[in-house]
Amino acid sequence: MRPLPQPPRESLTLASVLHALGDPVRLELVRRAWANPELTCSVLADGLDVPMSTLSNHWRILREAGLISMTVDGRHRRIRPRADDLHDRFPGVLDPILRLGTAESLNTGLL
């Protein structure tokens, strides 16, 4: 398995993390990844009515913001949330956002 490039922990910025989470689809993808670490992109995106090219862009934005790490596993991409890095860098910030994301996803029909 080959990891894709990601920013180091010390270069993560709150602005880039919040920008990445500002899109409802990306917020839902992160919420799913937090609940199910080590799944593939396609499994985590199952049921979302989003084109594959758009999903690829969403995953790239999340990886470049430092929210997830992505590993190439043959033809698949495994997603792992960077929970420890984000909790160390921004203590207490993500948990309320991800809980709020669950309620919003239910109300907007993303699930």
pTM of the predicted model over 0.85: yes
Instruction: List phi, psi (to 5°) of 27.
Output: -60, -45
Question: Angle at the Cα of 90 (from 87 to 91), degrees rounded to 5?
Answer: 60
The pLDDT of residue 10: 94
The pLDDT of residue 103: 44
C-beta atoms surrounding 103 within 10 Å = 9
How would you write the pLDDT of the chain (111 residues) with one tens digit per residue? 888 899 999 999 999 999 999 999 999 999 999 999 989 999 999 999 999 999 999 999 999 999 999 999 899 999 999 999 999 999 999 889 888 755 455 455 554
| Distance between CA atoms of residues 94 and 86, nearest Å | 8
| Distance between CA atoms of residues 67 and 26, nearest Å | 10
Domains of the chain: residue spans and CATH: 2-103 (1.10.10.10)
